[in-house]
């Protein structure tokens, strides 16, 4: 599925994630991670604080069935276009790690 991304006025890309413990957002789905992270309509819903029921209904129109428990704490992070990142998850708590800021240790 081609995902249309949301860009702010500066040209940064919106990324959705759920930083609270209990349920992840994009990390708790299989196969639809890009949609869950970037979809333009989902981002607008997050910015407008739309209720979870409307989110589920929208996702069904796109053929996406995923656990949406992380929606209650959904956040939007804007990253410069082209930024390489991963969303890490522990016990539902998601965080964004940017490649350029990760310090690797050498044995």
Q: What is the pLDDT of residue 107?
A: 80
Say which DSSP state 105 is in. Answer: P
**Model pTM score:** 0.90
Residues 6+ apart with CB under 8 A from 56: 68
For residues 81-86, average pLDDT: 95
Instruction: Give the distance between the most distant pair of CA atoms in the chain.
Output: 50
Residue 19: pLDDT band (50, 70, 90) is very high
Q: Does residue 94 contact residue 88 with C-beta atoms inside 8 Å?
A: yes
Which residue, chain included where needed, has tokens 């409307």? 54
B/e letters for 12-21, b = 16+ CB within 10 Å, e = fewer, are: ebbbbbbbee
């Amino acid at each position: 599925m081609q995902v249309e991304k949301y860009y702010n006025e500066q040209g940064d890309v919106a990324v959705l994630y759920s930083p609270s413990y209990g349920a992840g957002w994009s990390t708790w789905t299989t196969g639809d991670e890009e949609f869950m992270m970037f979809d333009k309509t989902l981002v607008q819903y997050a910015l407008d604080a739309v209720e979870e029921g409307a989110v589920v209904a929208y996702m069904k129109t796109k053929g996406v069935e995923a656990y949406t428990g992380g929606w209650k704490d959904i956040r939007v992070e804007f990253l410069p276009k082209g930024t390489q990142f991963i969303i890490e998850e522990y016990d539902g708590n998601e965080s964004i790690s940017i490649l350029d800021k990760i310090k690797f240790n050498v044995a």
